[in-house]
A and B are shown apart, each in its own frame.
Chain A
Amino acid sequence: MLNFINRQNRYVLMTIGAIALLVLPLILQQGGNAWVRIADAALLYVLLALGLNIVVGYAGLLDLGYVAFYAIGAYMFGLLASPHLTDTFPAIAAAFPNGLHLPLWIVIPSAAALAGIFGILLGAPTLKLRGDYLAIVTLGFGEIIRVFLNNLDHPVNITNGPKGLNQIDSIHFWGLNLGKPLTLFGFDIASVSLYYYLFLGLVLVSIVISHRLQLSRIGRAWMAIREDEIAAKAMGINTRNLKLLAFGMGATFGGVSGSMFAAFQGFVSPESFSLMESVMIVAMVVLGGIGHLPGVILGAVLLSALPEVLRYVAGPLQQMTDGRLDSAILRQLLIALAMITVMLMRPRGLWPTPEHGKSLQNNTAK
């Protein structure tokens, strides 16, 4: 798509883009934190979509329960970095009289690892399944996790049930607390903007990892499995291990995003991890252009940020319809219509990858 741009122009464009991304929150925060918050949420969704893209886009494993890993990461962070566990277990309260506030370099890796382990646990029994069977099992897995989060407040209060966990620590490292605004050279940077930079950094790291994966032997093997599993197996690819790796890796991304979400919100509850969220993340990946990094990012930004922006212009419409069409409903309506129309106009996504499309078209036109 960008072939007409030569190398030099491309560097100029990238520099402009980078500066724009860096300055964006500082401009947005002038209009209130809500706008920066939208940008933060969009970046979190980009992170999630990139993780799911490894599973669905590269390895071709349709996962409709991806939000489970997001939830596991968020709850792990919430449990290890909030006073909740000390309330439930006297032993922990005795060991940590000020509440359990473990340092980040323990909390985030354990959130990522736990999500990864669950990813592999989910993958293991489903290796034989393909396509829609896999979709429905992963969907079930997501629901199982959510039901447990909702009910594990009894007999031992672990997840605090539907009330959720609160008082979760914000992210702080090297004396820098992202929960508080930072004053640099007399210029205030709001807490949400600090999170923006953190998430932006994570997104960039994820893009690099995803890109390198795609070019690596592992990525090639995943795509071979996606295109034709039997042929891939015949060529000596260890499909079992590679599928597990894809599940595990995607889940790890989900776990890290989850812990970021928990720290950013300071609060987690099962409500944030409904099936609709999973579906939304799949929609982002597919809408943008499955398996294609720029497309996935585009899809995530569009589906997460656009409706939030529309929320602010929904006022007049709400008045016109006597409040029947409030902003939340309008948002849902627009998302649904966007999903349908985009797929009808561009079934391979807004910004599809050329290679992927070719092989898929051959497959379906048999």
Chain B
Amino acid sequence: METLLQQIINGLILGSMYALVALGYTMVYGIINLINFAHGDVLMVGALTSWAIIVRMQESMPGTPGWLILLIALLISCVVAAVLNFVIEKVAYRPLRNSPKLAPLITAIGMSILLQTLAMIIFKPNYKPYPMLLPSKPFQVGGAVITTTQIMILGLTAVSLAVLMYLVNYTKLGRAMRATAENPRVAALMGVKPDMVISATFVIGAILATIAGVMYASNYGTVQHTMGFLPGLKAFTAAVFGGIGNLAGAVVGGILLGLIESIGSGYIGTLTGGVLGSHYSDIFAFIVLIIMLTLRPSGLLGERVADRA
């Protein structure tokens, strides 16, 4: 029972990270129907930037409290990632808006490789330890352990989600985003500037990805230039799982995926009598996805069937 509870806690933390990244995928997909392959790497850029800032600040201002350093690093790296994503959209995706659909997909993949390579050149390819800035006190919850860092991660996710939901549902920008996702041309006739909305979407996505990246780095304690790829892939899976284009779906999909993955990898060893070990954890996401899409091709909360090839 304790292991189950522990796996649920781990799953929630993993899942909240997937959810934040999945939102970026799903928003972009909802508006311009593009799998933004570089989104996971934006997470990586955010995490590496925050790492660089933290290390600099710890050297130059030794007395600063940890939470302040983390906050400043988070803010600056959010800005960096947002500017980067804004530029990527403008340079690599916007000129291809009316091209055959595979063209922007290829530039997105190219962007992903480019970001990873540049990060490797700038930051060197080795794994770097991510400093622990907050006192990480473990708590006992019914036999399972949860640390303050992990509680902070869950809290940060909840706040980010609340802000995003407010933004999308109750602000002018949110209405413009929903209108553009529905039909860009009609939205333009109603006075919405689709280009501006799309840029805003990329900026918001980058901020969410950076928050997820900093969380990921704090939780696992290392950063590296390939760290964004697999979480990005899983987050996209989560977005599809929940029904791509649907914000609530991305959150539900992300959290479910995190839970499935951590519970699955916790129990697969005992279930199969040791034949399959926890190193199979990476494939749960995909197996679940295949089963899910066979039964319900539009995802958990998705309504429309993707009809564009």
- Which residues on A are within 8 Å of B, measured CB to CB? 60, 62, 125-126, 128-133, 135-137, 139-141, 143-144, 147-148, 150-151, 154-155, 226, 229, 275-276, 279, 282-283, 286-287, 290, 324-325, 329, 332-333, 335-340, 343-344, 347-348, 357, 360-361, 364-365
Contacts and interface: CB of A to CB of B under 8 A. Distances in A.
A283 B104 CA distance: 11
11 contacts: A131-B307, A132-B29, A133-B244, A135-B35, A136-B240, A139-B233, A226-B309, A282-B106, A290-B102, A344-B107, A364-B98
Contacts of B293: 126, 129, 133, 137
Given A135-B35, A140-B289, A128 B236 contact: no
A275 to B, nearest CB: 8
Given A143-B233, A151-B277, 8 more contacts: A126-B293, A130-B307, A136-B240, A137-B293, A147-B279, A336-B117, A340-B111, A364-B101
B145 to A, nearest CB: 28
Interface of B: 29, 33, 35, 92, 95-96, 98-107, 109-111, 113-114, 116-118, 120-121, 233, 236-237, 240, 244, 274-277, 279-280, 282-283, 285-287, 289-290, 293-294, 297, 305-309
Nearest to B244: A132
A145 to B, nearest CB: 9
Given A60-B309, A141-B290, A151-B280, A136 B99 contact: no
A287 B280 CA distance: 34
A347 B283 contact: no
Nearest to B97: A364
Q: Which 9 A-B pairs have the closest CB atoms?
A: A140-B286, A339-B110, A347-B99, A336-B114, A336-B113, A347-B103, A340-B110, A131-B309, A125-B294
Nearest to A290: B102
A135 B35 CA distance: 10
B103 A343 contact: yes
Given A283-B106, A343-B96, A131 B117 contact: no
Contacts of B114: 333, 336-337, 340
B98 to A, nearest CB: 6
A214 B277 CA distance: 45
Contacts of A137: 286, 289-290, 293
Contact of B240 (A133, A154, A348): A133
Contacts of B290: 125-126, 137, 140-141
Interface class of chain B by DSSP: helix
A344 B102 contact: no
Nearest to A285: B102
A133 B113 contact: no
A81 B13 CA distance: 46
A155 B286 CA distance: 23
A229 B308 CA distance: 11
B121 A143 contact: no
Contacts of A283: 106, 109-110
Given A62-B102, A143-B282, A329 B120 contact: yes
B225 to A, nearest CB: 11
A144 B35 contact: no
A45 to B, nearest CB: 16
Nearest to B33: A132
Nearest to B88: A340
Contacts of A135: 35
B282 A147 contact: yes
Contacts of B275: 155
Contacts of A287: 106
Contacts of A144: 283, 286-287
A348 B100 contact: yes
Contacts of B283: 140, 143-144, 147-148
A141 B285 CA distance: 11
Nearest to A344: B95
A140 B306 contact: no
A357 B100 CA distance: 8
B185 to A, nearest CB: 10
A155 B274 contact: yes
Contacts of B305: 130
* Residue picked from A275, A283, A344, A361, most chain B C-beta under 10 Å: A344
A147 B280 contact: yes
Given A130-B306, A333-B114, A279 B109 contact: yes
Contacts of B107: 339-340, 343-344
A286 B102 CA distance: 7
B280 A140 contact: no
A340 B105 CA distance: 10
Nearest to A61: B309
A141 B286 contact: yes
Contacts of A141: 286, 290
B280 A136 contact: no
Contacts of B307: 130-131
B120 to A, nearest CB: 6
A279 B233 CA distance: 13
Contacts of A335: 110, 113
B89 to A, nearest CB: 13
A277 B216 CA distance: 27
Contacts of B100: 290, 347-348, 357, 360-361, 364
Contacts of A275: 233
B26 to A, nearest CB: 12
A286 B106 contact: yes
Contacts of B109: 279, 282-283, 339
A125 B286 CA distance: 13
A65 to B, nearest CB: 9
Nearest to B282: A147
A332 B294 contact: no
Contacts of B240: 132-133, 136
A344 B90 CA distance: 12
Contact of B110 (A129, A290, A343): A343
A315 B296 CA distance: 53
Contacts of B276: 151
